[in-house]
Structure 1
């Protein structure tokens, strides 16, 4: 009887300490929240008793999670999300049924009536030139409507993953003109250029004469023949030339919109 009592006591202690086994959950296809409090139930199907656990507050139209941090937060509440699609980030947006707040939409010009406010995207820390914007680097901030500037992204996801063109200070409004696609090829990098036509693929390696982001033109010097090749950057140390180059550039422009 004493052993049974000790066993039951130990089991009770483990249960009180938190979830021992993690139940599998599935990320919702389009996570939304209705009141600015983002819960595990807003994010996952099958959250069960952990559905009401709040993991973030949404001040603007969306909130962005780093997938790894979200995975850890779910696990702390006994939920196992395997991230089968290897997502880098997860975006939760305001539900269409969310209460209407007397503020202007981010980036939308507003009459500067007394007391009017607007939500704008700002930097949470000082950003150095070349830094890649991460989900935790931007936050929605409420300002007086007359201080809200145009030209800022309407969604945090439009800024995340881009590179800073210049130093940016914490608290400053995010402006599209200050950000660009990150460079994947630097000047003097060795680049493999592929030429594809009619099902035939040829490659040559040369030295980049300029830096480029994905979808940008890059001239590559063939160090053997001393001839230059006009190509389009497709990834770190990679570019494509010939008929497929324009398609690669068009696809990159479409993805950036």
Structure 2
């Protein structure tokens, strides 16, 4: 929340404003009163390892969906590996903003 973060004097490696910090996920533990450097932040995790997800394959007007299990965690836009629970085949796909994993042909 914006009220959980306070701006202080600028320095090297620090975000320019609070809006760059709010909504991000910390990579390391930051104790109260400590500086948050830009390198401490990452995009929030959209899918966790072993989470059940919807796999989607799209081509023109065709869309096929299946259930899968994420083999790694990832953020929106990242490519992760997912195992199709019905066929036990492992595929790679990009995480969409709605939480589905879109399988692309490579």
TM-score, length basis structure 2:
0.88
- C-alpha distance in 1, partners of 2:11/2:32? 16
Unaligned 5+ runs, structure 1: 1-133, 143-147, 244-257
Is structure 2 residue 13 aligned with structure 1 residue 151?
yes
Quick one: higher RCO (CA 8 Å, sep 6+), 1 or 2?
A: 2
Do 2:67 and 2:86's aligned partners in 1 also have CA atoms closer than 8 Å? no
- C-alpha distance in 2, partners of 1:188/1:235? 19
Alignment of 1:207-222 (within 5 A): 207-222=69-84
1:52 is matched with none
Shift in Å at residue 235 of structure 1?
A: 3.9
- C-alpha distance in 2, partners of 1:236/1:137? 27
- Among 179, 201, 205, the residue aligned to 2:63: 201
- Among 61, 83, 93, the residue aligned to 1:231: 93
Shift in Å at residue 203 of structure 1?
A: 0.9
Do 2:7 and 2:17's aligned partners in 1 also have CA atoms closer than 8 Å? no
Shift in Å at residue 135 of structure 1?
A: 0.7
- C-alpha distance in 2, partners of 1:198/1:238? 18
- C-alpha distance in 2, partners of 1:188/1:207? 5
Bigger helix fraction? 1
Larger Rg: 1
TM-score, length basis structure 1:
0.39
Q: Which runs of 4+ in 1 moved over 4 A?
A: none
Is structure 2 residue 8 aligned with structure 1 residue 141?
yes
- Could you tell which deviates more after superposition, 163-172 or 148-157? 148-157
Q: What SS does structure 2 have at the residue aligned with 1:140?
A: coil
1:179 is matched with 41
Shift in Å at residue 236 of structure 1?
A: 6.1
Q: How many residues align?
A: 106
Shift in Å at residue 234 of structure 1?
A: 1.5
